[in-house]
């Protein structure tokens, strides 16, 4: 039986499929939407919109065409810009959203890996498996050259076990603290001995492998790395751990136990398919609940990409990447193997000033005429209403009224547009996702 | 503790909270109102055994065939311990009685996960999963009650706000740039309306963001003035030195912040440790010494205590990659004017290891208790007995 909260949400007159509901779905299952995408979602309804998220038009092929020459430069900033170009291109919002989620989950930083080819390859692996079988994803990540470099696979040899990967696998990737002990970490590390990188490729070095008997979660055998991964996946906490992470990312930070149990059950019943589990979650009452909407603090990538899409701004990808980095989210460079803490940790005086400054700069591109709105609004008041509709769904409350009143004092329509954009983008309300 | 409900202002927002009525710590004096604590976090697990070297213990040389430091290169601290060769500037502070350390600091059943161990240090709680408030955040909340318009705590670094500083009633900014915080000039055009949009009551994340915005704008204005002032001494050129230099300007300039959290990362030396670790320790010692001399030259050195800690020490036996893996207890370092100088606590005994690690002799919460009661004059976060840190 499906958990009541995971049942599909059906719009009603009191709880309709409106701009607010559609924008919520497009923000959480992607990074927001252009005015055209939002209008189409509104017209099509939730089911068709979800279907399109799962069968997107895809990325422009040219975004992949130049990748080899990009990688040849060895420049990490260009790699960040490349991913931003995919995000801003909006060809596969859900796929990118989930890829970024896995990047945060299996957080690996170029700060230590120091090789754009390996980072790009890991990104490709995450993208390929993003909506696939979690078990395959875990195996792929464990053999990923960037991950092996990041967590010292080459240093993990028979007689000299290095626990780095084994510890993070249990703690951060698959189980969570409390589901294993220090002994399990040591034994798992022995199972992974020999998993190394040579010439940027995964290699299982037999001479470095400890083939002795290990005992992991109370079971004994001459386990190798694949065996250890299977034992981790068979641990009862594993699906719950993945379910909790999915809930935190797509619904909100404090799931109750029953919800997690139901979502974990869903994951296992759907053969560990992240895509099929998400198609249940993103259509559910839980997901569309009013309390879930605009309840989390937007990540820097959500803020930067969402603003660009809603205003049709088309910033240079490298600038967008740098802006997100200054706000605390440098792609390919998470702060630690724990990934980004997210939530309130996104915000401090430094990152808030960056957000405000980026918002103010966007407003100035409109004031200078570098960016224009078509069709141009007739007067200051409709200018403010247009900006509000694009950025916050056209609310008619005290917040909206304050912006409209401020725009009315502007000396031109263009100033009214710019001032409204400046005010909305620097208002705390806008930074809730 | 007895408390009273009182309404006060945080950044213009009326808040009602419990205010302590009880007398403050026994040693709290009239001067504790301007004392400052700088917490310097050595992230990644500092190999303290190669920082404060047990030069007379054979086991050190036996367990560290490639990493052990030769006795003749060390800066002598006492009969048994010497400082890393790159830490001469810090050794001078020890010689002048302006530095101290407590050996063997830890807690029962040490955790070897970076994140969990850091959480434990940040929340002063090894037993429970972390809440949303850190040990410094709790102090910041209490200080904000006493001085409603101050910014009791600041984070100087480029990472996320550390859990230690997360608070319930106060909002702690992070300073990334050399000069702190700067807003675009075009902000002036919409300034009044932007401020108005921050008024009014809200709940949850919106309330959090509004408080964040207000605190940020106020701090940016005051800080830019102080950051422009010259320093009294020459600082070495390193990121840590740059951060401590800004801290010194803010303390000497009367910015009013009582708690600073500064980070130096990169101590997770699993492989080929020696050159990386040596460079970090040099950066640490030189920056700390310049900082203390600057504060002294500006006449505020006596009211600043700096504590340098790491989430754990490293395993005594080196690993097969000329590095060290995660360990347990380690010394905590102090620099400042009011300290009981020298080496305290239980010196590590390498013949009595616990699972290959140094046993802890002093619970870190005893250090926190001393900083809380005897230095800052705030209520204690735990029931731990305060360690005799101060003269």
Q: Would B344 be classed as within a structural domain?
A: yes
Which band of pLDDT confidence, cut at 50, 70 and 90, is reported for residue B132? low
Which band of pLDDT confidence, cut at 50, 70 and 90, is reported for residue B128? confident
Q: Which two tokens stand for residue B350?
A: 């390498």
Q: What is the pLDDT of residue B171?
A: 66
Strand (E) or helix (H) holding B175: strand B174-175
Q: Which two tokens stand for residue B227?
A: 């950051």
Strand (E) or helix (H) holding A399: helix A398-408
Q: What is the CATH number of the domain that holds B22?
A: 3.40.720.10
| Residue B123, domain extent | 3-376
Q: Would A148 be classed as within a structural domain?
A: no
Q: Would A3 be classed as within a structural domain?
A: no
Residue B322, chain A, CB below 8 Å: the answer is: no
Q: Give the residue from A239, A248, A241 showing the smallest Cα distance to A342.
A: A248
Rounded to a whole number of angstroms, the distance from the CA of B91 to the nearest CA of chain A is 32
Q: Give the residue from A190, A188, A226 showing the smallest Cα distance to A210.
A: A190
- Concatenating the DSSP letter of every residue in A150-180 gives HTTGGG-BTTB---HHHHHIIIIIIS-TTSS
| Residue A358, domain extent | 300-431
Residue A422: which of B190, B204, B208 has the nearest Cβ?
A: B190
Domains held by chain A: number: 1
CB A376: neighbour CB atoms within 10 A?
12
Q: Would B81 be classed as within a structural domain?
A: yes
Q: Would A311 be classed as within a structural domain?
A: yes
CB A20: neighbour CB atoms within 10 A?
15
Q: Would B195 be classed as within a structural domain?
A: yes
Q: Would B318 be classed as within a structural domain?
A: yes
Q: Would B201 be classed as within a structural domain?
A: yes
Q: Would A224 be classed as within a structural domain?
A: no
Q: Would A399 be classed as within a structural domain?
A: yes
> Is there a contact between B287 and B248 (Cβ–Cβ < 8 Å)?
no
C-alpha distances out from residue A314 to A30, A77, B138, B337, Å = 17, 18, 44, 55
Mean per-residue pLDDT, A316-340: 91
Q: Which two tokens stand for residue A239?
A: 């699906």
Q: Would A330 be classed as within a structural domain?
A: yes
Query: For the ranges A189-203, A266-280, B112-126, which has the lowest average pLDDT?
Result: B112-126
Rounded to the nearest 10 degrees, the angle between the axes of helix A413-425 and helix A349-367 is 170
Task: Kindly state the percentage of chain B with pLDDT values over 70.
Answer: 90
Mean per-residue pLDDT, B75-91: 97
pLDDT digits (tens, 9 = 90+) for B267-285: 999 999 999 999 999 999 9
Domains held by chain B: number: 1
Which of A295, A341, A428, A431 has the most B C-beta neighbours within 10 Å, making it the best mutation to test the interface with B?
A428
What end-to-end distance do the CA atoms of chain B give, in Å?
A: 27
Which band of pLDDT confidence, cut at 50, 70 and 90, is reported for residue B223? confident
Q: Do residue A353 and residue B181 have CB atoms under 8 angstroms apart?
A: yes
Q: What is the pLDDT of residue B161?
A: 77
Strand (E) or helix (H) holding B81: strand B81-83
Q: Would B94 be classed as within a structural domain?
A: yes
A214 beta partners: A221
Q: What is the pLDDT of residue B4?
A: 36
Q: What is the pLDDT of residue A344?
A: 87
Query: What is the rounded CA–CA span in Å between residue B315 and residue B358?
Result: 8
Q: What is the pLDDT of residue B16?
A: 32
Q: What is the mean pLDDT of chain A?
A: 94
pTM: 0.74
Q: What is the pLDDT of residue B149?
A: 61
Give the residue, B327 or A344, on which the prediction is more confident. B327
Q: What is the pLDDT of residue B222?
A: 83
> Is there a contact between A399 and B197 (Cβ–Cβ < 8 Å)?
yes
The yes-or-no verdict on residue A191 having pLDDT over 70 is yes
Which band of pLDDT confidence, cut at 50, 70 and 90, is reported for residue B7? very low
Which band of pLDDT confidence, cut at 50, 70 and 90, is reported for residue B195? very high
Mean per-residue pLDDT, A289-310: 96
Query: What count of CB pairs under 8 Å joins A to B?
Result: 142
Query: What is the rounded CA–CA span in Å between residue A274 and residue B245?
Result: 49
Q: What is the mean pLDDT of chain B?
A: 88
Query: What is the rounded CA–CA span in Å between residue A152 and residue A283?
Result: 40
Q: Would B390 be classed as within a structural domain?
A: no
Q: Which two tokens stand for residue B182?
A: 């700067």
Mean per-residue pLDDT, A57-68: 93
Q: What is the pLDDT of residue B144?
A: 84
Tokens 């702060």 correspond to A335
Q: What is the pLDDT of residue B129?
A: 64
- Concatenating the DSSP letter of every residue in A104-136 gives HHT---HHHH--HHHHHHHHHHHHHHTTSBHHH
CB proximity under 8 Å: B 48-67 to A: none
Q: What is the pLDDT of residue B29?
A: 40
For residue B198, list chain A residues with Cβ-Cβ distance below 8 A. Answer: 428
The yes-or-no verdict on residue B205 having pLDDT over 50 is yes
Q: What is the pLDDT of residue B147?
A: 75
Q: Would A130 be classed as within a structural domain?
A: no
Q: Which residue of B has its CA nearest to A178?
A: B129
Which band of pLDDT confidence, cut at 50, 70 and 90, is reported for residue B163? confident
Q: Give the residue from A275, A298, A295, A276 showing the smallest Cα distance to A287.
A: A295
Query: For the ranges A235-244, B112-121, B175-184, B362-371, which has the lowest average pLDDT?
Result: B175-184
SS3 A375: coil
Using only C-alpha atoms, chain A has a radius of gyration, in whole angstroms, of: 23
For residue B189, list chain A residues with Cβ-Cβ distance below 8 A. Answer: 419, 422
Q: Would A272 be classed as within a structural domain?
A: no
**Greatest CA span in chain A, whole angstroms?**
79
Residue B271: which of A155, A163, A344 has the nearest Cβ?
A: A155
Q: What is the pLDDT of residue B172?
A: 79
Among A222-226, A252-256, A329-333, the range of highest mean pLDDT: A222-226
SS3 B355: coil
Q: Would B170 be classed as within a structural domain?
A: yes
């Amino acid at each position: 039986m499906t958990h009541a909260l995971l049942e599909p949400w059906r719009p009603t007159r009191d709880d309709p499929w409106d701009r607010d509901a559609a924008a919520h779905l497009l923000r959480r299952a992607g990074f927001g939407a252009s005015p055209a995408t939002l209008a189409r979602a509104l017209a099509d309804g939730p089911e068709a919109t979800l279907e399109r998220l799962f069968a997107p038009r895809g990325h422009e092929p040219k975004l992949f065409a130049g990748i080899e020459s990009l990688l040849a430069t060895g420049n990490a900033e260009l790699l960040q810009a490349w991913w931003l170009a995919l995000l801003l291109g909006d060809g596969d919002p859900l796929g990118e959203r989930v890829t970024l989620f896995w990047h945060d989950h299996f957080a690996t930083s170029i700060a230590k890996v120091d090789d754009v080819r390996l980072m790009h390859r890991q990104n490709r692996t995450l993208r390929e498996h993003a909506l696939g079988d979690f078990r395959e994803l875990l195996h792929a990540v464990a053999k990923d050259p960037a991950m092996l470099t990041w967590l010292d696979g080459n240093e993990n040899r028979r007689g000299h076990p290095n626990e780095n990967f084994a510890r993070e696998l249990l703690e951060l990737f698959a189980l969570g603290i409390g589901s294993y002990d220090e002994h399990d970490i040591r034994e798992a590390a022995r199972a992974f001995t020999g998993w190394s990188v040579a010439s940027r490729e995964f290699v299982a070095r037999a001479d470095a492998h400890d083939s002795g008997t290990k005992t992991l979660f109370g079971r004994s055998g001459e386990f190798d790395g694949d065996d250890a991964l299977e034992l981790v996946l068979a641990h009862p906490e594993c699906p719950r751990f993945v379910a909790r992470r999915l809930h935190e990312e797509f619904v909100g930070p404090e799931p109750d136990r029953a919800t997690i149990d139901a979502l974990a059950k869903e994951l296992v019943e759907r053969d560990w398919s992240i895509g099929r589990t998400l198609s249940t979650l993103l259509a559910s009452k839980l997901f569309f609940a009013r309390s879930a909407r605009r309840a989390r603090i937007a990540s820097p990538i959500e803020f930067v990409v969402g603003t660009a899409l809603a205003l049709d701004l088309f910033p240079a990808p490298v600038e967008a990447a740098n802006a997100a980095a200054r706000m605390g989210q440098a792609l390919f460079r998470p702060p630690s193997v724990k990934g980004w803490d997210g939530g309130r940790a996104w915000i401090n005086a430094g990152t808030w000033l960056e957000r405000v400054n980026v918002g103010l700069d966007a407003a100035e591109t409109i004031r200078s005429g570098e960016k224009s709105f078509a069709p141009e609004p007739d007067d200051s008041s409709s200018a403010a209403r247009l900006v509000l509709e694009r950025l916050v769904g056209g609310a008619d409350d005290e917040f909206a009224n304050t912006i409209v009143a401020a725009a009315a004092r502007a000396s031109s329509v263009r100033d009214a547009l710019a001032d409204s954009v400046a005010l909305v983008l620097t208002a705390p309300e806008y930074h809730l996702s | 503790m007895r408390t009273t409900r009182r309404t006060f202002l945080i950044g213009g927002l009326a808040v009602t909270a419990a205010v302590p009525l009880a007398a403050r710590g026994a040693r709290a004096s009239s001067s504790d109102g301007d004392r400052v604590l700088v917490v310097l976090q050595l992230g990644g697990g500092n190999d303290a055994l190669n920082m404060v070297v047990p030069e007379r213990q054979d086991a050190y040389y036996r367990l560290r065939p490639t990493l052990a430091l030769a006795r003749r290169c060390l800066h002598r601290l006492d009969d048994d311990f010497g400082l890393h060769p790159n830490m001469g500037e810090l050794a001078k502070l020890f010689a002048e009685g302006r530095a101290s350390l407590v050996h063997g600091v830890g807690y029962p059943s040490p955790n070897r996960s970076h994140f969990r161990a850091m959480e434990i240090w940040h929340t002063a709680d090894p037993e429970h999963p972390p809440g949303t408030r850190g040990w410094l955040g709790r102090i910041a909340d209490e200080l904000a009650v006493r001085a409603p318009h101050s910014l009791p705590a600041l984070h100087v670094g480029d990472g996320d706000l550390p859990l230690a500083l997360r608070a319930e009633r106060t909002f702690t900014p992070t300073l990334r740039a050399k000069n702190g915080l700067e807003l675009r000039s075009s902000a002036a055009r919409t300034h009044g309306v932007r401020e108005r949009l921050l008024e009014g009551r809200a709940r949850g994340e919106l309330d959090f963001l509004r408080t964040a915005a207000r605190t940020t704008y106020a701090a940016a204005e005051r800080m830019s003035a102080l950051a422009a002032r010259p320093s009294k001494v020459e600082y070495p050129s390193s990121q840590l030195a740059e951060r401590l230099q800004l801290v010194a300007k803010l303390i000497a300039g009367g910015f009013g912040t009582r708690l600073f959290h500064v980070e130096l990362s990169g101590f997770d030396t699993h492989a080929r440790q020696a050159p990386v670790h040596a460079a970090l320790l040099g950066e640490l010692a030189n920056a700390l010494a310049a900082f203390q001399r600057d504060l002294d030259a500006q006449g505020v050195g006596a009211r600043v205590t700096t504590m340098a800690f790491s989430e754990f020490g490293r395993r005594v036996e080196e690993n097969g990659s000329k590095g060290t893996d995660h360990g347990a207890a380690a010394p905590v370092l102090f620099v400042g004017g009011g300290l009981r100088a020298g080496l305290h606590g239980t010196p590590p005994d390498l013949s009595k290891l616990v699972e290959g690690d140094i046993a802890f002799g002093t619970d870190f919460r005893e250090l926190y208790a001393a900083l809380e009661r005897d230095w800052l004059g705030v209520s204690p976060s735990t029931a731990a007995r305060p360690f005799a840190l101060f003269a």
